[in-house]
Amino acid sequence: MIRFENVTKVLGGNAVLDNISFEVGEGETFVIVGLSGAGKSVTLKHMIRLMQADAGNIVIEGEIINDLGRKALRELRAKFGVLFQGAALLQWMTVHENIALPLRELTHTPEDEILRLVDEKLELLGLADAGAKYPSDISGGMQKRAGLARAIIMSPKIILYDEPTSGLDPVTSRRIDDLIVNMRKKLGITSVVVTHDLHSALSIGSRIMMLHHGKIVENATPEGFIRSKDATVQSFLESQYITRKGKWEEFSHE
């Protein structure tokens, strides 16, 4: 569904992405981890052509997107939903209005159908009582859920998550993880998740890829990632108190 072929991106004289190649299959939850500045968010931006590769090809559903024209680029982006790091809700709009915005701005959907679809997504994400509230009136976790509702309102094939649990307490973070898993189970959505949170990555990912200095140092199932022999991966795991021993030794991913 998504394929990077020898992609390079240089910023400020540094190769943020250095000849990387990987593939995300349909229905996967593909997690990208790494230290700050490793190129995680840059990778996401290339998938929707917010950034242009300096070399290599990016292929979405069999189509090379490097040189798409304006109309084709709009059609490409319509396949994606994006949950931004801070939810990016408009503060002067209610939660209901925020979620409805893509339908009102980008489609000719009748208003009664918009209301029905928004109510459906509010119910799906446990926000049925929050529609009339403003973002400042709800918690950070609820804002993330509202952002996710907006990301799926146009029934995208792929959702990109940029640090979905950033700034949230552990309990709320795990609830967001559960929502990401449910998006795959209930809607069959392909997900690409950028995160620093390895506990989250191991819980939700079908595969985990680690970037380091612009290179891919690991791309494996959660079980394979924990058992990686790469020193950079092991250091990253140990920094979050995850080792091959203890509770993670018997970790099994559903």
Q: Any idea where the domains of the chain sit in the sequence?
A: 90-143
Taking alpha carbons only, the member of 151, 153, 70 closest to residue 107 is 153
Closest CA to 144 of 157, 131, 163: 163
Q: Residue 22 belongs to what H/E stretch? A: strand 14-24
Question: How many other β-carbons are positioned within 10 Å of the β-carbon of residue 132?
Answer: 10
Helices first, then strands: H and E counts in the chain: 9, 10
Judging by DSSP bridges, how do beta strands 63-64 and 55-60 pair with one another? Answer: antiparallel
Query: DSSP character for 214?
Result: T
Chunk the chain into consecutive blocks of 10 residues (it has 254) and report each block's average pLDDT, rounded to whole numbers. 95 92 94 87 92 94 90 88 77 92 89 93 86 90 86 88 81 82 83 89 93 94 92 86 54 47
User: What residues contact residue 100 under an 8 Å CB cut-off, 6+ apart?
Assistant: 114, 115, 117, 118, 153
Q: How far is CA 242 from CA 208, 222, 253, in A?
A: 15, 12, 15
- Say what the pLDDT of residue 204 is: 92
pLDDT given for residue 107 in this prediction: 85
- C-alpha span between 133 and 122 (Å, rounded): 12
Angle between helices 170-187 and 140-152 (to 10 degrees): 20
**Residue carrying structure tokens 């240089």:** 10
Phi, psi of 215 (to 5 degrees): -110, 155
